[in-house]
Amino acid sequence: MLLRWLMRPARVTSVETLSPRFRLIALESEALKDVVWTAGQKVQVAMGAGLSARTYTPMSWDTAHGRTRLLAFTHGDGPGSRWASGLRDGDTCQFFGPRRSLDLAGLMPPVVLFGDETSFGLAAALRSNLHAGGALHMFEATEIVEARHVLEAIHLNEARLIARNAGDAHLATVEAEFLRLAANGAQFVLTGKASSIQRVSRTLKAAGVASSRIKAKAYWAPGKTGLD
């Protein structure tokens, strides 16, 4: 009874394997109709019989027909990876949301989105946000070839990819580019790995970029769960 009251049911209408670690999932349900959704919000999908859940950022939401799409990054062997890897057309799921996660209201170009593999779904949603048209996307990634293939599949061909390396030395390239963009009045949306967000944010603020021009949301941190 508690689950029925708190959660929305949905049926999996398609699962597309974009690469070994990425799956594009389409959900449909009467419960998804007439829902107020904005880019940057999250849904939390129930895992198993308990109240454990994993968080995803919808790429799009069709409120008229009751449809949404999620991009799952199946790294590791956690509940979320096992759920996404095992999904088949016709399966059902239960989820909370959409709920507030990252408030992108009021964004005006130029907008710069920084993140990693966990941020691709947000980037797709942001692309469709009329107020943030023309956003520049920069992602740190471990497998560049795989990431490029996935970004092309979701029509983010112009995104820039930076290969991760030991000690996060690659972030110096990100910081240098962001300082150049900051001088042109860019607003920044920082997502993905918590430590990367903290470093880039410190650099921007030290250069005089106002906090009002920076929005941040950590999706994960090594050894930690519960970030979304």
Tallying the residues shown for the chain, one arrives at 228
167 and 213 share one domain? yes
Residue type at 56?
A: Y
Last residue of a domain, one of 48, 70, 99: 99
Question: DSSP state, 148?
Answer: H
Instruction: Tell me, yes or no, whether 185 lies in a domain.
Output: yes
Half-sphere exposure of 106 (CA within 13 A, CB side): 8
* Strands 8-19 and 92-99, bridge-based pairing: antiparallel
Quick one: how far is CA 134 from the chain centroid? 18
**DSSP labels, 203-223:** HHHHTT--GGGEEEEEEE-TT
Nearest to 14 by CA among 33, 28, 29, 34: 28
122 and 214 share one domain? yes
123 and 213 share one domain? yes
- Residue 46: its H or E element: strand 42-46
94 and 115 share one domain? no
53 - beta bridge partners?
Answer: 46
Q: Can you give the C-alpha Rg of the chain in angstroms? A: 17
85 and 117 share one domain? no
153 and 117 share one domain? yes
Reduced to 3 states, what is the DSSP secondary structure of residue 125? Answer: helix
The answer to whether the bond into 58 is cis (omega within 30° of 0) is no
What token pair was written down for 170? 């690659």
16 and 79 share one domain? yes
Q: Is the pTM of this model over 0.75?
A: yes
Quick one: how far is CA 76 from the chain centroid? 17
Print the domain residue range for 213.
Answer: 111-220
Count of domains for the chain: 2
Per-residue pLDDT of the chain (228 residues; tens, 9 = 90+): 455 567 889 999 999 999 999 999 999 999 999 899 999 999 999 986 656 789 999 999 999 999 999 999 998 778 888 999 999 999 999 998 899 999 887 788 889 999 999 999 999 998 866 454 568 999 999 999 999 999 999 999 999 999 999 899 999 999 999 999 999 999 999 999 999 999 999 999 999 999 999 999 999 998 776 566
- Residue 175: its H or E element: helix 171-182
Q: What pLDDT score was predicted for residue 47?
A: 84
Last residue of a domain, one of 67, 99, 131: 99
What token pair was written down for 80? 């979320």
Residue located via tokens 């900051």: 182
Instruction: Tell me, yes or no, whether 31 lies in a domain.
Output: yes
What CATH number should be reported for the domain holding residue 83?
2.40.30.10
Last residue of a domain, one of 34, 66, 99: 99
